[in-house]
């Protein structure tokens, strides 16, 4: 077992770190304040390969492993949580289209990888959130095409994205996935949601009124959609966990510096053992969360049977720890943590939603509990007596 980075991993992580340092970080506060969607920067990210990290190379992607991809997202999130989180959703959509789409969708996947086009993922509906399988958006076949009708809630990137992966129910009560043009006739967007965080990307509802989609834009066969949606989310959960870890690492780094620079009662804050222990716990929990995330990513790469359960464990644990570390870092900054001149309050706002989306952390526990109670759990077992 080797916990070190190989030369290729170190190079990718360094490229991501430099992009985070020079392109994302200098702009993150302004994007947050002005709610700017940085489309230009996203196309730059595409040129760097960050928009098709784990998309297969024969579709123009970089073809990285999930493990290498999460390490890249961790580094990017240190520069801007919200923009990196959008990149992770875009990566998930790109991977789904490249992996499950036919020849007719190949050029779309290529455009998404390069950043010429952007993607969005439409699963959640107003009445189907955690219970995603209860979705009612309908897909009806007319003259060989598909007509989509219904509405989706909370779509990240909606209104800006050029291509949407839409999960819908067909006439045979099967759930299928379709690739739909963002400006298709009959498609309309709700207002930009006013959110607590994630200000550099829009979130909107999407309404479909008999939106016509060619059958060649269906991913896989009829009835494959829910499986594809869940496979996409296994990776999506790792990615969002990586965004929490990267942000929390940056928060910890800043808190550490602040504790060494700021003096009270005649000595640096870092001299107070109570605060030293706080830093120690933050670093320890972050290391544990990162290792669980990397294990889950490795399991997904290796197609281990318990990979999905580990993706859920990692998502739950890393997003909880990530948020707690950001909160603790804000506390170590005292009043300065609460004002916008410093990024701590943004980290706190941006990481909060990671506990809610890509499946809430309660739903992650449902998935993990199902695994623990299944016959497949704990194959290595000692028998008493």
Ligand X SMILES: Cc1cc2nc3c(=O)[nH]c(=O)nc-3n(C[C@H](O)[C@H](O)[C@H](O)COP(=O)(O)OP(=O)(O)OC[C@H]3O[C@@H](n4cnc5c(N)ncnc54)[C@H](O)[C@@H]3O)c2cc1C
Give the up-direction half-sphere exposure of residue 363: CA atoms within 13 A in the CB hemisphere: 17
- Which is nearer to ligand X, 124 or 249 (by Cβ)? 124
Residues between 313 and 372 with contacts to ligand X, criterion CB under 6 A? 353, 356-357, 359-360, 362-363, 366
**Residues tagged active-site:** 358
Q: Which member of 49, 52, 60, 129 binds ligand X (CB under 6 A)?
A: 129
Does residue 121 belong to the site contacting ligand X (CB under 6 A)?
yes
Which of 5, 3, 29, 2 minimizes the C-alpha distance to 15? 5
**Please, what is the minimum distance in Å from the beta carbon of residue 335 to ligand X?**
28
Q: What is the dihedral of CA 288, 294, 300, 304, to 10 degrees?
A: -60
Opening angle at CA 339, ends 356 and 358, nearest 5: 10
With b for 16 or more beta-carbon neighbours within 10 A and e for fewer, the 170-202 pattern comes to beeeebbbbbbbbeeeebeebeeeebebbbbbb
Tell me the residue nearest to ligand X as measured from the CB.
Answer: 129
Helix (H, G, I), strand (E, B) or coil at 292: helix
Does residue 154 belong to the site contacting ligand X (CB under 6 A)?
yes
Does residue 177 belong to the site contacting ligand X (CB under 6 A)?
no
**Please, what is the minimum distance in Å from the beta carbon of residue 352 to ligand X?**
9
Does residue 84 belong to the site contacting ligand X (CB under 6 A)?
no
What is the radius of gyration, based on Cα positions, of the chain? 21
Distance CA 268, CA 160 (A): 47
- Which is nearer to ligand X, 203 or 250 (by Cβ)? 203
Distance CA 261, CA 272 (A): 13
Does residue 240 belong to the site contacting ligand X (CB under 6 A)?
no
In sequence order, which residues have a C-beta less than 8 Å from that of residue 238 and are 6 or more positions away? 66, 69, 70, 293, 296, 297, 300, 311, 314, 315
- Which is nearer to ligand X, 130 or 253 (by Cβ)? 130
Q: Beta strand 187-189 with 138-142: parallel, antiparallel or unpaired? A: unpaired
Q: Which member of 71, 89, 108, 251 binds ligand X (CB under 6 A)?
A: 89
Which of 168, 175, 208, 205 minimizes the C-alpha distance to 190? 205
Does residue 123 belong to the site contacting ligand X (CB under 6 A)?
yes
Question: Of 49-57, 148-156, 248-256, 293-301, which part binds ligand X (CB under 6 A)?
Answer: 148-156
**Please, what is the minimum distance in Å from the beta carbon of residue 85 to ligand X?**
9
Does residue 136 belong to the site contacting ligand X (CB under 6 A)?
no
Please check whether residue 359 is in contact with residue 315, taking contact to mean a CB–CB distance below 8 angstroms: yes
- Which is nearer to ligand X, 249 or 351 (by Cβ)? 351
Q: Which member of 156, 231, 247, 324 binds ligand X (CB under 6 A)?
A: 156
**Please, what is the minimum distance in Å from the beta carbon of residue 179 to ligand X?**
15
**Please, what is the minimum distance in Å from the beta carbon of residue 189 to ligand X?**
13
Does residue 203 belong to the site contacting ligand X (CB under 6 A)?
yes
Tokens of 343: 């990024």
Does residue 73 belong to the site contacting ligand X (CB under 6 A)?
no
**Please, what is the minimum distance in Å from the beta carbon of residue 119 to ligand X?**
10
Distance CA 220, CA 229 (A): 12
Please check whether residue 125 is in contact with residue 185, taking contact to mean a CB–CB distance below 8 angstroms: no
**Please, what is the minimum distance in Å from the beta carbon of residue 2 to ligand X?**
35
Does residue 135 belong to the site contacting ligand X (CB under 6 A)?
no
Does residue 198 belong to the site contacting ligand X (CB under 6 A)?
yes
Task: List residues near ligand X by CB under 6 A.
Answer: 89, 121-124, 129-130, 154-156, 195, 198, 203, 353, 356-357, 359-360, 362-363, 366
């Amino acid at each position: 077992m080797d916990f070190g980075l190989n030369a290729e991993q170190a190079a990718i992580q360094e490229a991501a770190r430099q992009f985070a340092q020079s392109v994302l970080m200098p702009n993150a506060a302004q994007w947050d304040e002005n709610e700017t969607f940085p489309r230009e920067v996203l196309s730059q990210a595409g040129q760097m390969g960050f928009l098709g990290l784990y998309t297969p190379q024969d579709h123009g992607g970089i073809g990285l492993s999930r493990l290498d991809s999460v390490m890249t997202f961790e580094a990017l999130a240190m520069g801007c949580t919200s923009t990196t989180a959008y990149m992770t959703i875009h990566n998930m959509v790109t991977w789904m289209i490249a992996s499950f789409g036919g020849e007719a969708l190949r050029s779309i996947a290529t455009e998404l990888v390069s950043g010429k086009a952007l993607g969005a993922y439409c699963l959640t509906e107003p009445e189907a959130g955690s219970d995603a399988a209860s979705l009612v958006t309908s897909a009806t076949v007319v003259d060989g095409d598909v007509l989509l009708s219904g509405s989706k809630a909370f779509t990240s990137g909606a209104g800006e994205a050029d291509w949407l992966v839409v999960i819908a129910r067909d006439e045979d009560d099967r759930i299928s996935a379709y690739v739909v043009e963002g400006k298709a006739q009959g498609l309309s967007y709700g207002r930009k949601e006013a959110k607590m965080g994630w200000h550099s990307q829009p979130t909107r509802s999407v309404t479909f009124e008999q939106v016509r989609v060619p059958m060649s834009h269906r991913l896989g066969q009829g009835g494959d959609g829910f499986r594809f949606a869940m496979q996409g989310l296994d990776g999506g959960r790792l990615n969002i966990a990586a965004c929490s870890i990267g942000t929390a690492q940056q928060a910890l780094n800043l808190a550490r510096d602040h504790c060494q620079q700021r003096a009270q009662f005649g000595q640096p804050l870092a001299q107070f053992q109570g605060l030293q222990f706080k830093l120690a716990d933050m670093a320890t929990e972050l290391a544990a969360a990162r290792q669980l995330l990397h294990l889950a990513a490795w399991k997904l790469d290796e197609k281990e049977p318990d990979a999905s359960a580990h993706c859920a464990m990692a998502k739950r644990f890393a997003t909880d720890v990530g948020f707690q570390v950001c909160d603790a870092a804000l506390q170590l900054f005292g009043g300065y943590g609460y004002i916008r001149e410093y990024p701590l309050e943004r980290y706190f706002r941006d990481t909060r939603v990671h506990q809610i989306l890509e499946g809430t952390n309660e739903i992650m526990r449902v998935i993990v509990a199902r695994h623990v109670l299944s016959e497949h759990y704990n194959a290595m077992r000692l028998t008493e007596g």
